[in-house]
């Protein structure tokens, strides 16, 4: 290996520099000293500079499911690895240089805080390696809205199931939040949140999210800037947004595009549980 090639692979742990070796950037790059300090906010190969590759959704689903169970790294890791890790297996650098285990932090809605579903974040993070906000946001919107309305889980690993085998009950979460997604499913089907069934459900949803995420990614690669999603903005978001997300309105103090309904529908489940409970 010559000196310039070795320097490229070693610089910054090879995270992005390998892209030059793989021919992912058009201009030739000078050798980079791996010991040289980086400039503030600088990024080798530029921001969103990696080249995306199309993947087989069926293969991605299997990898995502296995990734969920790998060392207990769970949903965010499973989805991210099924996209970027699989590209690394097929195309080498820079994809195989990424510290995938970083995505383990998304387990349980980010370190068990029950916030954003880790699987969804894993997909958004993968998209962000290739596309900036203007092009990425519609992709994220499409995936997240699909997640809100689709009855999950769909994927069934059959005899290769790690948690429990057989069909699992489905429901639509109505929310991208881990807490709501898990709680609604467990309540509806009388299954404990700490059970193997619930873990299996999340493993299968990891595969479902990865599948949909790659379908979107493949379509984006094919159509480029002409790609458009198919899911309309939720009715609650459109309605509530007229007052709460309209510039100049006195009530313009809300932000976000997740469905408003799960947290603001006034149902019994949302009543004050801090007084005289249960």
Q: Which two tokens stand for residue 68?
A: 């969920």
Question: 131 and 111 in one domain?
Answer: yes
**Omega before 240 within 30 of 0, i.e. cis:** no
Tell me whether residue 253 is in a domain: yes
151 and 220 inside one domain: yes
Q: Is 148 part of a structural domain of the chain?
A: yes
| Contact present, 136 and 124 (Cβ < 8 Å) | yes
Residue ranges, the chain, pLDDT below 70? 1-34
3-state secondary structure labels for all residues of 207-234: HHHHHHHHHHHHHHHHHHHHCCCCCCCC
In a domain, 170, yes or no: yes
Q: Does a structural domain hold residue 267?
A: no
pLDDT of residue 19: 42
| Same domain? 191 vs 147 | yes
Task: Say if 271 falls within a structural domain.
Answer: no
pLDDT at residue number 10: 41
Q: Count other C-beta atoms under 10 Å from residue 221's C-beta.
A: 15
**pLDDT number for residue 14:** 43
Distances (CA, A) of 26 to 46, 47, 78: 12, 14, 31
Is 36 a domain residue? yes
Residue 224 CA to residue 231 CA, distance in Å, equals 18
What is the number of domains present in the chain? Answer: 3
149-165 residues labelled b (16+ CB within 10 A) or e (exposed): ebebbebebeeebebee
Is there a single domain that holds both residue 24 and residue 109? no
Confidence (pTM): 0.86
Encode pLDDT of 245-264 as tens digits. Answer: 898 988 898 888 888 888 88
pLDDT at 34: 60
- What range does the domain containing 255 cover? 235-262
């Amino acid at each position: 290996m010559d000196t310039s090639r070795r320097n490229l692979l070693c610089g910054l742990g090879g995270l992005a520099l390998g892209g030059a070796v793989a021919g992912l950037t058009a201009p030739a790059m000078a050798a980079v000293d791996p010991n040289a300090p980086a400039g503030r906010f600088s990024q080798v190969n530029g921001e969103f500079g990696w080249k995306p590759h199309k993947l087989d959704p069926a293969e991605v689903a299997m990898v995502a499911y296995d990734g969920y169970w790998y060392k207990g790294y769970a949903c965010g890791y499973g989805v991210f690895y099924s996209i970027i890790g699989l590209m690394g297996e097929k195309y080498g650098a820079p994809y195989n240089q990424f510290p995938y285990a970083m995505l383990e932090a998304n387990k349980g809605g980010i370190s068990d805080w029950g916030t954003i579903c880790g699987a969804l974040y894993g997909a958004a993070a993968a998209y962000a390696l290739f596309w900036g906000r203007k092009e990425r946001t519609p992709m994220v919107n499409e995936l997240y809205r699909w997640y809100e309305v689709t009855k999950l889980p769909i994927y069934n690993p059959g005899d290769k199931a790690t948690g429990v085998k057989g069909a699992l009950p489905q429901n639509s979460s109505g929310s991208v939040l881990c807490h709501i997604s898990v709680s609604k499913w467990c309540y509806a089907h009388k299954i404990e949140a700490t059970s193997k069934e619930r873990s299996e459900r999340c493993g299968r949803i990891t595969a479902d999210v990865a599948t949909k995420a790659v379908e979107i990614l493949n379509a984006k690669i094919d159509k480029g800037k002409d790609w458009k999603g198919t899911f309309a903005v939720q009715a609650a978001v459109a309605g509530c947004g007229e007052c709460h997300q309209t510039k100049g309105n006195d009530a313009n103090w809300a932000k976000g595009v997740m469905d408003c309904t799960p947290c603001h529908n006034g149902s019994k489940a949302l009543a004050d549980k801090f007084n005289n409970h249960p």
